[in-house]
């Protein structure tokens, strides 16, 4: 596919150069550019209708970002995002076609019409919002302070007083924690994620500031010391990405996300892949 | 054109630098004293104790001298909790540095001790000293004086090596530098500064060791030359 389009571009540009030598160059190039835009799949009438008539939904999922998406020992993609894609396909009553992508090419796949949805641990920011549309949040992604004691909870930053918290030096969570931690909190900074995890697992620290993905990794390695969230430092949940101006598809995806939150499907997925319930403020 | 140097960006972090400096100095002073004392005991026992004690201590010295310091440190801090022995970061640093310095210094001292002729010890006994007295005055102190320069170097090496205790979150001078560097991204200024501080610490240590040596081994001076 890639080489085909490349060849097309090549012959196109050489033909274009010949044309350019003509007198009508400006007018013609404008016409060619216009033609290119109208053949772009971006301006399809209705993506949801296309999916239904095709009977297949094509979803871009990560292949290198566990537990959202990775390749299992059976060489099949597995993870939260894959389950989410399967859930949407099942509820829509269509077949699921998985397109493994990397974080660099996930949006181009969508924009070139090779994928209907991107479910790839996609975070929202203004730059991305200018290019594509985002559904409601479907997966938790946050930084927080976690405790080895699953029954513990604190009300605010002042609840972290007198605690010793391990964190990876210079990471975003280090900055956030240093900002809000009371003076009596001891922040023990370690060189990298692996050392921070070792400090928590060996019991050298009973609290750790990290992301929920890393916390899930720790829980998987040692369920006796599964980190449980006591304070959220920064929330940046994941959204389903789709092309702009697809109100019908957007409505359908949001309806299914709301339904999944309601009936516990998403919470079940969170337990399976993050070894934790969805955070209480999720979806609000 | 690179960014210009700006040491003023370090000003807001003076308290961190002072805290790191103090920790490094305390760590060094305490471990030098405990490490060298332990080294004397180990060196003595390796020459004079029962065979099984000698082999045990030999094992300790060889393991310590033939494994990386950071691995010893990680074993004490991250490994021992697996056996139910939980030691906090600063204590783990003290223990690792002491054991490390003691193992190397014991070997250095042993060389000094074996350089003493057996006849001298017997001469001491013949003069009416007890075994321990003659050992102390005839063997140990001269041995110490003989290898003193090597012991100074070894203590300085351990002080410089203490930089790695920052890896287990001990707030030493290197930890302070890494901390500041992760906040203001002024790596050149920070590391240049602590390089100079370590350099001064090493010079300072050598000078103080020499002053102490001049006093303690004053009567040895003649023999040394």
pLDDT (mean) for A65-78: 89
pLDDT for the residue numbered B3: 61
- Selecting from B81, B166, B182 the residue whose C-beta is nearest the C-beta of A202 gives B81
Task: Decide if A69 contacts A82 (C-beta within 8 A).
Answer: yes
Gyration radius (Cα) of chain A, Å: 23
Cα nearest neighbour of A170 on chain B: B182
Interchain proximity B78–A204, CB inside 8 Å: yes
Residues of A in contact with B166 (CB under 8 A): 191
Residues of A in contact with B181 (CB under 8 A): 170
Residues of A in contact with B167 (CB under 8 A): 190-191, 195
Cα nearest neighbour of A198 on chain B: B78
Residues whose CB is less than 8 angstroms from the CB of residue A17 and which lie 6 or more positions away in sequence, other chains included: none
Distance CA A5, CA A13 (A): 12
CA distance A214 to chain B (A): 19
Interchain proximity B169–A202, CB inside 8 Å: no
In which band, very low, low, confident or very high, does the pLDDT at A31 lie, cut at 50, 70 and 90?
A: very low
In which band, very low, low, confident or very high, does the pLDDT at A148 lie, cut at 50, 70 and 90?
A: very high
pLDDT tens-digit readout, B184-195: 888 899 999 999
What is the CATH architecture of A47-140+237-274? 3-Layer(aba) Sandwich (3.40)
pLDDT for the residue numbered B216: 84
pLDDT for the residue numbered A14: 42
Residue among B98, B142, B150 nearest B121 (CA)? B142
Question: What pairs with residue A142 in β-bridges?
Answer: A235
Interface with chain B: mutation pick from A177, A179, A188, A193, highest number of B CBs within 10 Å: A188
| Whether residue A67 has a cis bond before it, omega within 30° of 0 | yes
- What percentage of chain B has pLDDT greater than the value 90? 67
Tell me if the domain spanning B7-224 has CATH number 1.10.3720.10.
yes
pLDDT tens-digit readout, A95-115: 999 999 887 888 889 989 999
The residue that leads in pLDDT, B132 or B20, is B20
Buried (b) or exposed (e) across A79-118, using 16+ Cβ within 10 A? bbbbbbbbbbbeebebebebbbbeeeebbebbbebebbbb
Residue among B58, B146, B159, B56 nearest B109 (CA)? B146
> CA angle A145-A146-A151, nearest 5°?
130
Interface of B with A in 87-146 (CB under 8 A): 88-89
Interface with chain B: mutation pick from A195, A221, A224, highest number of B CBs within 10 Å: A195
Interface with chain A: mutation pick from B169, B178, B180, B187, highest number of A CBs within 10 Å: B169
Distance CA A235, CA A257 (A): 18
pLDDT (mean) for B128-138: 85
* Phi, psi angles (nearest 5°) of residue A184: -80, -5
pLDDT for the residue numbered B15: 95
Residues of chain A with CATH 3.40.190.10: 47-140+237-274, 142-235
pLDDT for the residue numbered B71: 96
pLDDT (mean) for B19-46: 96
Interchain proximity B182–A170, CB inside 8 Å: yes
Q: SS3 for B66?
A: coil
Q: Where are the domains of chain B?
A: 7-224
pLDDT for the residue numbered B221: 54
Average pLDDT, chain A: 84
pLDDT tens-digit readout, B134-148: 888 888 888 888 899
- Name the CATH topology of A142-235: D-Maltodextrin-Binding Protein; domain 2 (3.40.190)
């Amino acid at each position: 596919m890639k080489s085909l389009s490349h060849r097309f571009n090549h012959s196109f540009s050489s033909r274009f150069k010949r044309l350019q030598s003509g007198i009508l160059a400006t007018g013609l190039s404008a016409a060619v550019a216009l033609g290119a835009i109208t053949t772009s799949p971006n301006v399809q009438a209705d993506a949801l209708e296309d999916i239904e008539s095709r009977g297949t939904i094509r979803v871009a999922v990560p292949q290198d970002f566990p537990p959202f998406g990775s390749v299992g020992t059976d060489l099949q993609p597995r993870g939260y995002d894959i389950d989410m894609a399967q859930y949407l396909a099942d509820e829509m009553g269509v077949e699921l076609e998985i397109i493994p992508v990397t974080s660099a090419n996930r949006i181009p796949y969508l924009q070139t019409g090779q994928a209907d949805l991107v479910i790839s641990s996609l975070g929202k920011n203004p730059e991305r919002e200018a290019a594509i549309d985002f559904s409601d949040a479907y997966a938790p992604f946050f930084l927080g302070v976690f405790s080895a004691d699953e029954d513990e909870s604190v009300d605010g930053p002042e609840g972290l007083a007198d605690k010793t918290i391990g964190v990876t030096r210079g990471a975003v969570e280090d900055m956030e924690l240093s900002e809000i931690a009371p003076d009596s909190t001891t922040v023990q900074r370690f060189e990298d994620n692996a050392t921070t995890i070792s400090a928590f697992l060996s019991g050298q620290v009973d609290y750790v500031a990290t992301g929920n993905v890393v916390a899930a990794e720790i829980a998987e390695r040692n369920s006796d010391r599964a980190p449980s969230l006591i304070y959220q430092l920064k929330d940046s949940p994941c959204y389903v990405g789709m092309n702009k101006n697809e109100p019908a598809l957007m409505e359908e995806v949001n309806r299914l996300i709301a339904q999944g939150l309601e009936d516990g499907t998403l919470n079940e997925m969170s337990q399976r892949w993050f070894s934790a319930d969805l955070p209480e403020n999720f979806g609000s | 054109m690179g960014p210009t140097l700006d040491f003023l960006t370090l000003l807001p972090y003076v308290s961190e630098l002072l805290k790191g400096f103090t920790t490094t100095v305390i760590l060094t002073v305490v471990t030098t004293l405990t490490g060298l004392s332990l080294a004397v005991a180990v060196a003595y026992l390796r020459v004079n104790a029962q065979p099984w004690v000698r082999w045990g201590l030999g094992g300790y010295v060889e393991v310590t001298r033939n494994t990386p310091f950071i691995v010893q440190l990680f074993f004490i801090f991250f490994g021992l909790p697996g056996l139910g022995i939980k030691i906090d970061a600063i204590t783990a640093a003290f223990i690792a540095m002491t054991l490390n310095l003691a193992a190397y210094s014991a070997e250095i001292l042993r060389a000094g001790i074996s350089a003493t002729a057996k006849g001298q010890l017997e001469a001491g006994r013949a003069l009416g000293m007890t075994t321990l007295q003659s050992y102390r005055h005839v063997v140990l102190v001269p041995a110490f004086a003989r290898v003193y320069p090597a012991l100074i170097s070894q203590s300085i090496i351990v002080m410089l090596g203490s930089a790695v205790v920052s890896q287990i979150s001990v707030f030493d001078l290197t930890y302070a530098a890494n901390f500041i560097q992760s906040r203001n991204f002024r790596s050149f200024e920070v590391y240049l500064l602590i390089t100079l501080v370590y350099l001064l610490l090493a010079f300072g240590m050598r000078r103080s060791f020499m002053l102490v040596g001049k006093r303690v081994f004053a009567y040895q001076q003649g023999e040394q030359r």
